[in-house]
Amino acid sequence: MANNQTVLILDFGGQYKELIARRVRECGVYSEIRPNSISLEEIRAIHPIGIIFTGGPDSVYAPGAPACPREVLELGVPVLGICYGMQLITKLLGGQVSPCSKSEYGTLTAELAEDSVLFGEYSGSQRVLMSHTDFVSAPPAGFRVTAHTELCPCAAMENPEKGIYAVQFHPEVENTVNGKAILNRFLYTVCRAAGDYSMSDYLEKQIRQVRETVGSGRVLLGLSGGVDSSVAAALLSRAIPGQLTCIYIDHGFMRKNETEEIKKAFAGRDLDFVHVDARERFLTRLRGVTDPEQKRKIIGAEFARAFEDEAKKCGNPEFLAQGTIYPDVVESGTNSAVIKSHHNVGGLPEDLGFKGVVEPLRGLFKDEVRKLGLMLKLPRQIVFRQPFPGPGLAIRIIGEVTEEKLDLLREADAIVRQEIGRSRCRADQFFAVLTNVRSVGVMGDGRTYEYTLAIRAVRTNDFMTCEYARLPHTLLNRMASRITNEVKGINRVVYDVTSKPPATIEWE
């Protein structure tokens, strides 16, 4: 980020690269992730105060294993290698990496040297996360071993004269005790960081940048009510009051009261809020459709058309704003501006004649976006909104989507979210799914033949994998009782106990 000290994260295929970058930012230092193929000229242009090599799934001695020039280690910039990054440093500097006779996976005890620059007061016996099948069997010349485990004789090494440090374990994960503190020592003791990165600083700079980019022009934003687009709208309304138009396409698949909450959240802000009631339009297009992929495609295409129809009524705004965040940029493998898909429902039209694209959240991770949302006084129910698919409840209804099914699911889902939300159970995402199964039941003296509802609640750190949440039976019983008593049309409730993989978090 302009004018901030930067730590460069070189990606060698590690699954924790974004977590490393987030941890660095949590320490008050700006970080950027770049591919390991970045040139020396690009690195010099960034002027990093430190470089971190990520882990990775490969063996450094395997053909085609990711690498970088040895010259990266000779730039005079402090380097920290993590896991694969440690092994790569060893290979580049003439040490030896060998296969483990017995691999180390999981949280283990490591002995950290007290006189290590990197560990300092966080030395001694520490629990660390290991995940490797190779190890450094001979450190490069000039390096001393600063940690070991029962099976790994070199779990860390350092050469303070060259400013190069390396650890075989993962300090970025919560499983490593004092891991963040170790990263903090690298940043402040080794790299001499000033700690000049904060959300208030980011906000001020983005407001200035948006004003410089937009000038007196008008900006158009597709507002979904999700965290990213909502925070982008709040930031832009503060930066360019009276110049922002937000189009909210209500496709009819939102959860209970969400449309009203979104309208209320932006009612007092200096922007034009355009609410498009497109419920009948979307339901008509989905009539008779049961295949989930077909549902997604129809909703995506219809959303793009609805947005285009409304955009043409807005007086030719010069700029399109998007809620693109940093993981979108990292995952795209490019730093160039792209038109972002609107929450999995299809890309916005590219031929509307915009002068440019404004992406004020482009440099932020999701947790930073949430912090910014609170600073901008957005309601907590929007800032901490759970992940919600763009097609909304349409893909939480198995089979054809009808108004009757949507009404049933809204009521049942509201009960699930209310009960789990006010319990002390940890679940990172939870919702209801209306199945296409009807079953026999009995209510009072009468026989019923009504829908079966499934409850889904999961625990996850990254939403790439998950485990089902072990909710107590008392809570499950309370939800089932309320749903079958309060939602007419549902007479049976089941709980999904499948992890991902083999299942996905969503049912469709």
Buried b (16+ CB within 10 A) or exposed e, 150-175: eebebbbbbbeebbbbbbbbbbbbee
The DSSP string of 215-271 is: TT--EEEE--SSHHHHHHHHHHHHHSTT-EEEEEEE-S-PPTTHHHHHHHHHTTSSS
331 is catalytic: no
Give residue for tokens 């008050």.
28
Burial class (CB in 10 A: 0-12, 13-18, 19+), 101: exposed
473 is catalytic: no
83 is catalytic: yes
Count of beta carbons in the 10 Å neighbourhood of residue 216:
8
The DSSP string of 360-423 is: TTTT--HHHHHHHHHHTT--HHHHTPPP--TTGGGGSB-SS--HHHHHHHHHHHHHHHHHHHHS
Q: Which of 27, 68, 83, 152 is catalytic?
A: 83
Task: List the structure tokens of 282.
Answer: 């979307």
Which helix or strand (DSSP H or E) is residue 480 part of? Answer: helix 473-486
Count of beta carbons in the 10 Å neighbourhood of residue 357:
17
The DSSP string of 138-190 is: EPPTT-EEEEE-SS-S-SEEEETTTTEEEESS-TTSTTSTTHHHHHHHIIIII
The DSSP call for residue 349 is P
Q: Which of 18, 68, 158, 170 is catalytic?
A: 170
CB 220, CB 247: distance < 8 Å? yes
> What are the φ/ψ torsions at residue 342 (nearest 5 degrees)?
-85, 85
CB 276, CB 248: distance < 8 Å? yes
Q: Which of 18, 32, 104, 172 is catalytic?
A: 172
| Distance, CA of 376 to CA of 374 (rounded, Å) | 5
Which helix or strand (DSSP H or E) is residue 351 part of? Answer: none
Task: Name which of 202, 239, 222, 252 is nearest 317 in CA terms.
Answer: 222
Which helix or strand (DSSP H or E) is residue 45 part of? Answer: helix 40-46
Q: Which residues are catalytic?
A: 83, 170, 172
